[in-house]
Structure 1
Amino acid sequence: MKKYINRPLFLAAIVISLVVGLEMPFNTFTYSFVFYLIEHKAVHLVIPSILGIIVVYGVLAGLEYLQSVIVNRNVCQINTRLKDDYVTRTLATVAAENSDYEARNLSFFMNDLKLLEDNYWRQLFTLLGLVVTTVGTLGYALFTNVPIALVFIGFAVVPSLIPRLFSQSIQTKTRVWSAKNETLSGTVKDLFHAALLLKRYQAVTGFSARLHRSVSEMEGANAAMNNRIALANFAAFFTFSSLNYIPIGIGIYLTITGKLSLSGFVAIQYATNIGLNSFRQMLSSWNAFNSTQDIRQKVLALDQPEQSATSAVTPVTFHDLALQTVGFTYDQRPVFDQLNLQFKAGDKVLIRGKSGIGKSTLIRLILRELQPTDGMFLLNGQPYTQQEAYRLFGIVGQSPVIFQDTIKNNVTLGRPAEDAAVATALRQAGLPEFTQETGLNQLISENGHNLSGGQLKRIEIARALFFNRQILLIDEGTASLDPETAQAIHESLLRNPDLTVLEVDHHIPEAVRQLYTASYQLTPNGLTALTD
Structure 2
Amino acid sequence: MQSSLKFAPKWKLVAYTLLAIVMAFGNVVIAYVTKIMLNAAQYRQGDSGNLIRIASIGAATILIIMLSNFVYRYIKCAIIQDVNVYLKDKTMSYLIEQRSDSQKDGLSLMTNDLKQIETSKTTNELMIIAELVSFLLSVVVGLINSWILTLIFMVTTLIPGLVQRAFTKTIQAKAKVWETNNIAYTQSVNDGLNGAQTVGLYDAQSSTISKVVNSAKRMEEALKNLNFTQAAAGEVIMAFADIFSFILPFLVGAILMLQGQIGVGTLIMIVQLSNEFINPIVNIFEQLNAIKSTKPMWDKVEQALSFSADSTKSAKTGQFTGLKVEDATYSQGGREIFTHLNLTVAPNEKILLMAPSGWGKTTLLNLILGKIKPSEGHVYIDGEDVTGNWAEAHDNFSYVNQKPFIFDDTIKFNILLGRKVSPANLAKAVDSAGLTELVDEKGWDYQVGEKGANLSGGQIQRIEIARAFLSERPVLLADEATSALDPELSLAIHKTLLKKPNLAVIEVAHKISAAEKSLFDRIINLNGENEE
TM-score, length-scaled by structure 1: 0.92
What is the match of residue 440 of structure 1? 444
What is the match of residue 190 of structure 1? 191
Deviation of 1:313 after TM superposition, in Å, equals 1.7
Letter in 2 for 1:56: T
CA distance in 2, matches of 1:78, 1:247: 41
Q: Deviations over 1:338-380 (max 9, x none)?
A: 1111121122111122222211111111011001110111112
Whether the aligned pair in 1 keeps the contact of 2:153 and 2:249 (CA below 8 Å) is yes
Change (3 A) 1:406 1:419: farther
Deviation of 1:502 after TM superposition, in Å, equals 0.7
CA distance in 1, matches of 2:172, 2:438: 53
CA distance in 1, matches of 2:175, 2:237: 20
Superposition map of 1:95-494 within 5 A: 95=100, 98=101, 100=102, 102-244=103-245, 245-302=247-304, 303-307=307-311, 313-384=315-386, 385-436=389-440, 439-494=443-498
CA distance in 2, matches of 1:254, 1:3: 46
Whether the aligned pair in 2 keeps the contact of 1:394 and 1:464 (CA below 8 Å) is yes
More off after superposition, 477-486 vs 380-389: 380-389
Deviation of 1:387 after TM superposition, in Å, equals 2.1
Q: Does 1:81 align with 2:82?
A: no
1:12 to 12, 15, 24: 15
Letter in 2 for 1:529: E
Change (3 A) 1:6 1:145: closer
Matched residue of 2:205: which SS?
coil
Deviation of 1:517 after TM superposition, in Å, equals 2.0
Matched residue of 1:315: which SS?
coil
Letter in 1 for 2:175: T
Deviation of 1:195 after TM superposition, in Å, equals 3.0
Q: Deviations over 1:445-495 (max 9, x none)?
A: 111011111111111111010011211111111111111111111122223
Q: Give structure 1 stretches of 5+ with no counterpart.
A: none
CA distance in 2, matches of 1:3, 1:499: 49
What is the match of residue 76 of structure 2? 71
Change (3 A) 1:174 1:448: same
CA distance in 1, matches of 2:83, 2:249: 44
CA distance in 2, matches of 1:2, 1:37: 46
Change (3 A) 1:3 1:48: closer
Whether the aligned pair in 2 keeps the contact of 1:327 and 1:373 (CA below 8 Å) is yes
Percentage of pairs with the same residue: 27
Deviation of 1:63 after TM superposition, in Å, equals 1.4
| RMSD over aligned Cα atoms | 2.2
Whether the aligned pair in 2 keeps the contact of 1:138 and 1:275 (CA below 8 Å) is yes
CA distance in 2, matches of 1:345, 1:415: 26
Change (3 A) 1:267 1:497: closer
Deviation of 1:202 after TM superposition, in Å, equals 4.4
Q: Does 1:54 align with 2:59?
A: yes
CA distance in 1, matches of 2:403, 2:182: 27
1:23 to 26, 39, 60: 26
Whether the aligned pair in 2 keeps the contact of 1:21 and 1:128 (CA below 8 Å) is no
Change (3 A) 1:420 1:437: farther
Change (3 A) 1:145 1:2: closer
Matched residue of 1:92: which SS?
helix
CA distance in 2, matches of 1:382, 1:142: 75
Whether the aligned pair in 2 keeps the contact of 1:423 and 1:435 (CA below 8 Å) is no
Letter in 1 for 2:372: L
1:90 to 86, 91, 95: 95
More off after superposition, 18-27 vs 52-61: 18-27
More off after superposition, 46-55 vs 70-79: 70-79
Change (3 A) 1:18 1:353: farther
CA distance in 2, matches of 1:31, 1:355: 85
2:40 to 37, 41, 65: 37
Deviation of 1:3 after TM superposition, in Å, equals 6.5
Change (3 A) 1:149 1:225: same
Change (3 A) 1:218 1:450: same
Aligned pairs, how many?
Answer: 522
Letter in 2 for 1:239: F
Whether the aligned pair in 2 keeps the contact of 1:350 and 1:502 (CA below 8 Å) is yes
More off after superposition, 251-260 vs 12-21: 251-260
Matched residue of 1:22: which SS?
helix
Change (3 A) 1:258 1:53: same
TM-score, length-scaled by structure 2: 0.92
Matched residue of 2:352: which SS?
strand
Change (3 A) 1:2 1:34: closer
Deviation of 1:61 after TM superposition, in Å, equals 1.2
CA distance in 2, matches of 1:23, 1:295: 36
Whether the aligned pair in 1 keeps the contact of 2:199 and 2:208 (CA below 8 Å) is no
- Post-superposition, which runs of at least 4 consecutive aligned residues in structure 1 deviate over 6 A? none
Whether the aligned pair in 2 keeps the contact of 1:22 and 1:132 (CA below 8 Å) is no
